[in-house]
Amino acid sequence: MVRVVSYEELPTVDLIIDAVYEGKVGSHLSGEAISKLLPGTGNLGGFRASGRGDSKKFVVLYTSGADKDWPDRLDPNTGQFVYYGDNKTPGHELHDTGPGGNRILRQVFDALHMASPDRTKIPPFFIFRKYPTPRSARSVQFKGLAVPGFTGLPATADLVAVWKTSKGQRFQNYQAVFTVLDAPVIERAWLNDLANGESLTANAPSAWSDWVRKGRYRALAAESTTVVRDQGAQLPDSPAKTLILETVWEHFKNAPRAFEAFAARVFQMHDQRVIIDEITRAAVDGGRDAVGRYLLGLTDDPVYAEFSLEAKCYRPPLNGRSANTVGVKEVSRLISRIRHRQFGVLVTTSVIGRQAYEEVREDRHPIIFFSGKDIAEILVTNGFSTPQLVKDMLENEFNVTGGRA
């Protein structure tokens, strides 16, 4: 059960990973939790910095988790956190934002990638996510202490200016990659030190001190204890993503053959190392709708793992309709087609039945499942963040004329 800290306790408590810090009863902005928990940060915006000018004592990164155009995301398995800057509307230069969030990102990543990095000039970042409670709509959940960059990610990839279009106008915003450090508890004593402008103190988390002094990333990587996702975990977790999945289903429901090419594209969107060699013909597919290779190792000395992909355009449980789930029969068919040293991929607009899911995981079959939720999230991550954008892409690239039901 999630720990909930009352509003009255906020000025004196520690920060604990995944604990919820309640706002004041009601929904008034004055009762917002973060400014009470960390005085000096303000109560508005995604970037909330403490400190004047370029010398920031610490920075709060706040996310609602529901912005379909700018989908901030935390991977708990690796500790990687992707956060978007604050230039989210046309009409402004990349760094011309009121809160100055993008200027903060430029400054800290520049400091990170200097020939002789001075990490003492980089403030700690505290990540919070919107988490309404019955008592207050202004409650938040603490997701961790973060630093810029990620192990193995080149300097050209951890802060990238991406283009977006809104109402025909183009503009740029930052996509920044952080590492959530292995610091399960942030002591109030260190928060007080930070407020006084001191970060490398005896109260600092060891993972923070290690990163500042040595540049070592000790990520908070938490392997999931759930190896079999239930139906709820395989469905979109927001109304916006639900509409995106419904758009996909409506486009392909009478043309499942056309869905096969789209399923292969989804796998490629998920990972650029995926190579699709062939979308197989119905009469000769042998139980496989696509075949391809996954690139391992170096690009100039590649090693490939071959895979077979099967696509199931099944009815998802939306708008009160029951789901047409992928069961043991369909999964067994894919398993039987996998040769030695190959793996399988199954992509469906619906969900994988529990028995089929359990048998695959318990028997350790090398099968990757993509459910309706995964399709929606992959589309959003790749810029198709509204039903209209998805519809336009499907109509332009995946012709359903002549598809068989």
pLDDT digit string (tens) for the chain, length 405 residues: 889 999 999 999 999 999 999 999 876 777 899 999 999 898 888 999 999 888 899 999 999 988 878 889 999 999 999 999 999 888 889 998 888 999 999 999 999 999 888 899 999 999 999 999 999 999 999 999 999 999 999 999 999 999 888 777 888 999 999 999 999 999 999 999 999 999 999 999 999 999 999 999 999 998 876 678 999 999 998 888 999 999 999 999 998 889 999 999 999 999 999 999 999 865 444 446 899 999 998 888 999 999 999 999 999 988 788 889 999 999 999 999 898 889 999 999 999 999 999 999 999 999 999 999 999 999 998 989 899 999 999 999 998 875 443
The separation between CA 167 and the C-alpha centre of its own chain, rounded to angstroms, equals 26
Helix orientation angle between 354-362 and 328-337, rounded to the nearest 10 degrees: 30
Residues paired with 175 in a beta bridge: 84, 160
Residues paired with 345 in a beta bridge: 309, 368
Residues paired with 109 in a beta bridge: none
Compute how many other C-beta atoms are within 10 angstroms of the C-beta atom of residue 143: 23
CA distance 251 to 243: 12
User: What is the number of residues in the chain?
Assistant: 405
| Residues 6 or more apart whose Cβ sits within 8 Å of residue 370 | 263, 266, 267, 270, 345, 346, 347, 348, 378
The closest of 9, 6, 36 to 20, measured between CA atoms, is 6
- For residue 136 the two structure tokens come to 């207050």
The closest of 256, 230, 217 to 361, measured between CA atoms, is 230
Taking the model in full, what pTM does it have?
Answer: 0.77
Which domains occur in the chain, in start order?
4-214 (2.30.280.20), 232-397 (3.40.1350.10)
| Residues 6 or more apart whose Cβ sits within 8 Å of residue 390 | 244, 247, 248, 379, 384
Buried b / exposed e over 294-316, threshold 16 CB at 10 Å, is beeeeeeeeeeebbbbbbbbbeb
Helices (H), 271-386: 328-337, 354-362, 372-381
Calculate the alpha carbon distances from 203 to 26, 35, 143, 190, 240 in Å: 35, 22, 20, 5, 42
Calculate the alpha carbon distances from 377 to 47, 115, 245 in Å: 24, 37, 9
pLDDT value of residue 63: 95
| Residues 6 or more apart whose Cβ sits within 8 Å of residue 207 | 145, 181, 182, 183, 218
CA distance 306 to 43: 51
